[in-house]
């Protein structure tokens, strides 16, 4: 059974990142037919659901890490793409939170073609999205921490 953080991730995929991809397609091809747009909408939503499923563990880990940092008085987490686990977390947070405006990020080059991603989650905005999805994010984060 999916827990609330998984539900939140899939809600974001269905209501934010999937529709965002569709809007980009409409901007790139304003003459797209209604039938082709419907097909692309279905494809985009399926792709976002798959990506959410694939990155669910990384999304959860990133939320927990960021929440722990905020509880300790920090306001951001830094992730090194040379570490595969940290790279997946960065991918999940950038795609599902930064893209739709629920977080911000900055990159700093390390080695050639490698970066440190510093990510700030906008917790009030994310809590609002969670409320839209009928999820109590504060309670979900407590459960995720095992508290």
Give me the residues paired with residue 107 across strands: 117
Mean residue pLDDT of the chain comes to: 92
Q: What is the dihedral of CA 112, 116, 117, 119, to 10 degrees?
A: -170
Q: pLDDT (tens digit, 9 = 90+) per residue, 114-132? A: 999 999 999 999 999 999 9
> pLDDT at position 147, please?
55
Its pTM stands at 0.90
Contacts of 136 (CB under 8 A, 6+ apart): 4, 130
Q: pLDDT (tens digit, 9 = 90+) per residue, 34-81? A: 888 888 888 888 999 999 999 999 999 999 999 999 989 998 999 999
CA distance 101 to 119: 12
Question: When comparing pLDDT for 135 and 75, which is higher?
Answer: 135
Please state the length of the chain: 147
**Domain locations along the chain:** 4-145
């Amino acid at each position: 059974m999916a827990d609330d953080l998984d539900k939140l991730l899939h809600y974001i995929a269905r209501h934010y990142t999937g529709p965002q991809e569709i809007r980009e397609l409409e901007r790139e091809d304003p003459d797209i037919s209604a039938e082709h747009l419907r097909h692309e909408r279905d494809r985009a939503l399926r792709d976002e659901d798959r990506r959410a499923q694939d990155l669910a563990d990384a999304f959860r880990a990133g939320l927990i890490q960021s929440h722990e940092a905020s509880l300790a008085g920090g306001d951001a987490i830094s992730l090194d793409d040379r570490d595969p686990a940290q790279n997946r977390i960065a991918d999940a947070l950038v795609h599902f939170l930064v893209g739709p405006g629920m977080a911000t990020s900055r990159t700093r080059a390390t080695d050639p073609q490698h970066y440190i991603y510093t990510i700030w989650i906008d917790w009030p905005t994310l809590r609002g999205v969670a409320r839209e999805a009928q999820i109590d994010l504060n309670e979900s984060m407590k459960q995720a921490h095992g508290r």
